[in-house]
Amino acid sequence: MLMSQTGNYRPVLSYVIISSGRNDASTSPGPNAKMECPMHSAESVLSAFSMPSKVKTIIAGTKFGELTVLSAAMPFTRLNGRRAAASLCRCVCGSERAYRNNGLRNGYWKSCGCKSRETAALARVTHGEARGKAASVELRTYYNMVRRCSTPSAPDWPGYGGRGIRVCARWLKDFAFFLQDMGRRPSRAHSLERIDVNGDYDPANCCWAL
């Protein structure tokens, strides 16, 4: 730091004088001398201001619940103007998006939301349908349908959710809509089937079949 004539301090960059081979005690650079600033290159100065100093990237392959980090992503801009580091992640259900690093590290993000959708759908089961061993066959059918399409850990996930098969939003919203659209199972020999095996579970593509 140097003091100006006004009494204010101003920053200066230190430099190294590289001599042209003449070894003397002179402090003035000769005509063939050049000045370098190895610790203050343009790249280092710009990079120091491009990201917060405490930002730490997350190594690709790191897992956070159902999410796996693929690479660093463009930082998020907060309301206060500061930037927050982010990582591109893939959920076990196959979806990809960027998440804030601090949200991953503190456990706020564990999946893309597929687990939450399944939990919310099953939590809304009402209308006198029992749970557990006394659950109605329609409720068990509904539970198994949602599970194999929304839960990657389900044994039959690869043939359903893993292939992109989904349950329609109406049925996910409430079991009552599923029961209203499909009715009770006609007999023990019937099972819930899709007319188009590559299509989703929705009223137009499902039936009780023998």
Distance CA 86, CA 84 (A): 6
State both tokens at 210: 């023998």
Kindly report, residue by residue over 148-203, the tens digit of the pLDDT.
Answer: 998 888 889 899 988 999 999 899 888 889 999 999 999 999 999 999 999 999 99
State both tokens at 119: 């939990």
* pLDDT at residue 4, rounded to an integer: 46
- Output the tens digit of pLDDT for each of the chain's 210 residues: 444 455 554 444 444 444 444 444 444 445 554 444 444 444 443 343 344 445 577 888 898 888 889 988 878 877 777 888 889 998 877 788 889 898 898 888 888 877 666 666 655 555 556 554 567 888 889 989 998 998 888 889 899 988 999 999 899 888 889 999 999 999 999 999 999 999 999 999 999 999
* pLDDT at residue 54, rounded to an integer: 54
**pTM of the entire structure?**
0.45
State both tokens at 93: 């259900």
Q: What SS3 class is residue 170?
A: helix
> Which distant-in-sequence residues (6+ apart) come within 8 Å of 184 by Cβ?
138
